[in-house]
Structures are given as C-alpha cells and as structure tokens.
Amino acid sequence: MNTGDPAAGAYSNRRVAHGSAATLRQLEQEGRLEGYQADFVRQTNPQDAVGPLAIASAATVFRTVAGARAGFRQAVRAAAVPGATALSTGPLGDQAAGFMSERQAQGLTFAEFVVQWRQRNVVNAIVIEGNALGMDLGYAMRLARLQEGRER
C-alpha cells in the first residue's frame, strides 16, 4: 500500500467547513472537536488486483456523546447513497452501520464497503474499495475491530 493522499491527515472544523462560516458554526454547535483520516492506496492495475485497492480509516471526536450520536446519524445518512445495500455489522461500538455498493468500470465490478460506528464520543469509519472479487464485509469488519480496539 502507498500512502500520501492529500485527503489524509487531520480534519479541523475549519478544514471540514471549506470556508463556510455557517458550516463552521454548525460543527462547533454540534460539539465536533477534531477528526483524522488515513488513506492507503495500492498502486496496481485494477484488472490484476484481488481485494482492496483503497482503504480509508477515519475518526471524529465530539465534545459529548450526544454530539457523537448526531454525527453518527449524519455519517450514516451520507453513506446510504442510492443503490447502496445496508449490511449488518453485528456488535461494534455503541452504534454501528454497514453499507455495500457496486459499480461497473473497465469491464470489472468494483465494490465499496463502508463500516461506521460510534464508540462513546468518537465516530469512526472504515471504507474499502476495489475489485469485487476477494472483497467482502468481513475484511472491512476486521479493520474496524482493530481500530475499535485501539480506541479503548
């Protein structure tokens, strides 16, 4: 895996707001303190790859559990894109949701698995994308459980 995606790193409220004063105020009112995203991208020909080509791991810290609950609801709404299928994650954190979607490109089926969960005042996400062959929710869940364990 190669890192270095410019989307990775710390996500202050100002960075998330993209210059919008209204969005910045909303984030602060919701009690969002900070967030972080790590991205890993495998540089290979998609036709030759089995399994994930990209993995994103994110965590957002809120001042309160109530704020994190609201943040989790927003994250779930954002992940429930048209065509996505809701999946059961089983027990993970205090709340959890999973989604899978597929798309066709270059004669291949690409899959995306999104696992989101709230643990106390932190909202987390794992997103894996790649050639649908060799990918399943179990892979994303293993990564989510690793991240969950590190937060304890």
Tens of pLDDT along 82-140? 999 999 999 999 999 999 999 887 788 889 999 999 999 999 999 999 887 778 888 89
DSSP secondary-structure letter at 6?
Answer: T
To which CATH superfamily is domain 9-151 assigned?
PknH-like extracellular domain (3.40.1000.70)
Q: Per-residue confidence at 62, pLDDT binned at 50, 70, 90? A: very high
Q: Note the pLDDT of residue 100.
A: 95
Q: With 60 as the cut, is the pLDDT of residue 1 above it? A: no
- Strand residue runs (E) in the chain: 9-11, 32-41, 51-62, 85-87, 95-105, 108-119, 122-131
Residue type at 14 in one-letter notation: R
Cα angle 69, 63, 4 (rounded to 5 degrees) comes to 85
Domain ranges of the chain: 9-151
Structural tokens at position 151? 């937060």
Nearest in space to 140 (alpha carbons), one of 121, 149, 131, 127: 127
Cβ distance 98 to 121 under 8 Å?
no
Q: Note the pLDDT of residue 43.
A: 77
